[in-house]
Structure 1
Amino acid sequence: MNPLNHKKLLLSKWTAVKPVAKQKHFLVSRVIQPDDPADAIQLVEIEAVFSKATQVIAWRELQDSSVWRQGWV
C-alpha cells in the first residue's frame, strides 16, 4: 500500500502497473472538492501524459500498489 496524504495529491505523478493503450504515466490534474466544504475529498482527476485523456477516480485507489506506483517509473 502506497502511503498517501490527500493534501499533497495535486500535480503528483503516478505510473500504472498495467498500462492500457500506451497510457502508463499519469498526473493528478485536479482535486475535486465536495459540495459541502466540511466533507472529505473523495475524487481526483488524473490525466494521461501520453494522450492527455482524463478520468475521475477515488483518490484512495492510488494507495493500491498492485495498480499504481508513485512517481514515474
Structure 2
Amino acid sequence: MNRLSPKKLLLSKWTAVKPIAKQKHFLVSKVIEPELPNEKLDLIEIEAVYSKKVMQIHWRDLSDSSLWIQGWK
C-alpha cells in the first residue's frame, strides 16, 4: 500500500474488510484539525456511504490492511 498522507485523505474512498454495523463502504468526510497548532493530526471522520452514519477513527488505522482496503471493492 502507498504511504498515506493525512492532508490528502479528504473525500478518499475506503472499504472495511469486516463490515461495521452492516456497512462496508466509507468516505473520509472530514479531517479533524488538532486544537493546538503544534500537535499532529490524529483523527478523521468517515461516513458510511449507504446510511450516512459518521464515526471518528485515527487516520493511521487506514494503513492497516487487515481492517481497511483503499477504494470501494
Q: TM-score, normalised by structure 2?
A: 0.92
- Counterparts in 2 of 1:57-68, with a 5 A limit? 57-68=57-68
Q: TM-score, normalised by structure 1?
A: 0.92
| 1:20-43 deviation digits (Å, cap 9, x = unpaired) | 333000000000000011211000
1:26 matched to which residue of 2? Answer: 26
Measured after TM superposition, the shift of residue 6 of structure 1 is 1.1
- Counterparts in 2 of 1:38-49, with a 5 A limit? 38-49=38-49
Measured after TM superposition, the shift of residue 68 of structure 1 is 0.1
Q: Secondary structure at the match of 1:39?
A: coil
1:37 matched to which residue of 2? Answer: 37
Within 2, Cα distance between the matches of 1:70 and 1:5?
13
Seen in structure 2, the aligned counterparts of structure 1 residues 14 and 63 have a Cα distance that, compared at 3 Å, is same
Measured after TM superposition, the shift of residue 55 of structure 1 is 0.3
Percentage of matched positions with identical amino acids: 66
Within 2, Cα distance between the matches of 1:13 and 1:52?
14
CA contact (8 A) 1:2 1:69 kept: no
**Alignment partner of 1:51 is 2:38:** no
**Alignment partner of 1:71 is 2:50:** no
